[in-house]
Amino acid sequence: MPLREPRHLLVTGGAGFIGSNFVHYWCDRYPGDRVVVLDLLSYAGNRRNLEALEGNPNFRFVQGDICDRTLADALLQAENIDTIAHFAAESHVDRSILGPEAFVRTNVLGTSTLLEAFRQHWQQRGQKNNTFRFFHISSDEVFGSLNPESPPFTETTPYSPNSPYAASKAGSDHIVRAYHHTYGLPTLITNCSNNYGPYQFPEKLIPLMCINILTAQPLPIYGDGENVRDWLYVGDHCNAIDLVIHKGTPGETYNIGGNNEIKNIELARMVCQLMDELAPNLPVRPSSQLITFVKDRPGHDRRYAIDASKISTQFGWKPQKTIQEGLRQTVEWYLNNRDWWEPLLSDEYQAYYRQVYA
C-alpha cells in the first residue's frame, strides 16, 4: 500500500452495529489514524462493542448527541477532523412505525447539524486539504419496493421511501447531496443492503432468530415470509466503505450489496439449521418448530435488491463472504457471546417486543 497521510476521523454512531465493526476495521487497518467516536449510547449503542480499543492512544470515545452543534464544533476543531464517517441513525423500521419523531430528529436534523458544522470547519481551513470527506451511510430502503421481476436498485433509481425510517434516510441523503451541490462540500454517500454480523442488536432478524432459539421463544416471521432481502456481511461492507472514502469521487453515490437475495422464511430456516448443528443442547429441536407466522408489518416492502456494479467496476470491490460462510460465523458469534446479548434483553426491549409481535 502506498504511503498516506494519517487521517483524523470522527465516527458518529461508532458504538452501534455497523459503526463499531467499522471502527474495529479502521483501527486495525490504519493504526496511525486518529479515530474519535461520537455516540449517544441509545438502546442500540453499546460501549462494550469498543472495549477492546480502550487504552489505544489513537482512539477516543465521546458520549454525545449529533444534534448538539456546540459539541460537534468543539470535536471537529479540537481533534482536527478531516473525515466524518456518519453512521449515527435510528434504523429499525418497526420502531419508526411506533415513533417516527425520533427518526426525523436523529436522521434528518442530526445529519443537517453535522453537515453545517463540517462545512464551516472545512471552510475555516481554506478548503485546501483534499482529503476532507463527509461520508454518509444510507439504505436501500430509500428506493422503495421491487416487484419480483424488477431489476435491482442502481444509483439512479428514483427515491420512493415507504416507511418513516426510509423517508427519514431519504431526507438525510438529499440534504447531503444539497451540501455538495450548493457549497462544494466533498460528500460521499453509500446505499447498502441488509447487513449482518457480530454486535447487531437483538431486534434485528438474524440475532432475533438466534436468541429466540436459545430461549425457546417463537421465531416471528411477518406475513407469508416471502419478502426478499439482499444480505451483506458487515466486514465486507466495511471494506467497501474504506474504498469509497479513499477512492470515491466527491458528490457521488455508491451502492453496496451482497448479491444474496433470500426470502425471509428461507433465511430463518438457514439459521435454524445452523443452530441445530452448532448448539447440541437446544431446548427445542429441530428449532424450525419455533417458526411462527405473525401479522405483517404495515406497508411491508416486498423485495429489495442492490446492483453494486458501479463500485465493483470502479474499485474492484466484491463481497468476500458467501451467505453460508457469513451466516455460520454470525451464528457462532451469538452462541459464544451470550454475555454480550443477555443484558440487552431489558424490560424496555421486552415491552417493545410484545408491542410489535403481539
DSSP 8-class letter at 108: I
Catalytic site residue 165? yes
Q: What CA–CA distance (Å, rounded) separates 142 from 135?
A: 17
Element housing 294 (H / E): strand 291-294
- 165, 179, 199, 334: the catalytic one is 165
Catalytic residue flag (residue 140): yes
Q: What separation in angstroms does the CA of 283 have from each of 44, 202, 228, 264, 280?
A: 28, 19, 29, 23, 9
Whether 170 and 224 have beta carbons less than 8 Å apart is answered as: no
> What does the angle CA 140 – CA 102 – CA 9 come to, to the nearest 5 degrees?
65
Q: Are strands 228-233 and 194-196 parallel, antiparallel or unpaired?
A: parallel
- What is the rounded distance in angstroms from the CA atom of residue 327 to the CA atom of residue 207? 11
The residue count for the chain: 358
Determine the residue type at 58: N
DSSP-assigned states of every residue in 80-107: T--EEEE------HHHHHH-HHHHIIII
Active-site residue, selected from the candidate residues 90, 140, 203, 301? 140
Query: What is the rounded CA–CA span in Å between residue 151 and residue 166?
Result: 20
Amino acid type, 259: N
215 contacts 178 by C-beta, under 8 angstroms: no
Catalytic annotation present for 226: no
Q: Give me the DSSP letters along 322-335.
A: -HHHHHHHHHHHHH
Cβ atoms 192, 317 nearer than 8 A:
no
Nearest to 139 by CA among 189, 100, 179: 189
Measured CA to CA, the distance from residue 38 to residue 13 in angstroms comes to 6
Q: What are phi and psi of 350, to 5 degrees?
A: -65, -40
Q: Catalytic residue, from 141, 173, 230, 236: name it.
A: 141
Point out the residues that are catalytic. 140-141, 165
